[in-house]
Every structure is written in structure tokens, then in C-alpha cells.
Amino acid sequence: MESDLSQAKSRSHWSSTFGFVMAAAGSAVGLGNLWKFPYLVGANGGSAFIVIYIILLFFIGVPLVIAEITIGRFGQLNPVGSFGLISPIYITVL
């Protein structure tokens, strides 16, 4: 655990907020999910599904992305190290 903390001090940080937001959006949402899937469903008569999809995207997807970003910024480590800082039980499980 101590080596993870020393590793966090030597890691680099994002130089701009815009670059971070673009990288997070690019890794979280692929272009196929963003454009092709809703288009195909809507074109084939699934407009009601698109409405539900967008609602669930905002109520489930956005909070999960915010939680992931918050945990990453809090820990400034790899995923296992960040969750280990929150609760040591995650290190023993993973």
C-alpha cells in the first residue's frame, strides 16, 4: 500500500480540463453507442425505446461516470489502488 502512495506522487496530471473531459468521454462512450444504435432503433420503429434509453443513460450512466472520475481523482492510482484507498477490503477481494 505504501508503494501505491509513493507512485501517486510521481504520476503526471492532466494539463487542461478540456483534454481530460474529451478523453473521459471518448473512453466512456464509443461512437457506435452514441450514433448508430439509437439511429437503427429509431429507424425501425423503436422510438419509445429511445426515450427510455436516454432516460436511463442520464439516471444510471451519468452518476456512474461521475463516481468513476471522483474515485480516480481521489486515489490518483490504478483502479485497484484507488478502491483500496476507499476500503481495504477491495484489495483482498481483487
Q: What is the pLDDT of residue 34?
A: 67
pLDDT along the chain (94 residues), means of 10: 55 78 73 72 82 87 87 81 78 61
Query: What grid cell was written down for 91?
Result: 484489495
Q: Are 25 and 62 in contact (CB under 8 A)?
A: no
| Number of structural domains the chain divides into | 1
Query: What grid cell was written down for 48?
Result: 419509445
N-terminal to C-terminal alpha carbon distance within the chain: 14
Query: What grid cell was written down for 47?
Result: 422510438
Per the structure, the complete domain to which residue 22 belongs is given by: 2-93
* Helix (H/G/I), strand (E/B), else coil: 45: coil
Q: What is the pLDDT of residue 10?
A: 65
Q: What is the pLDDT of residue 59?
A: 93
Q: What is the pLDDT of residue 5?
A: 52
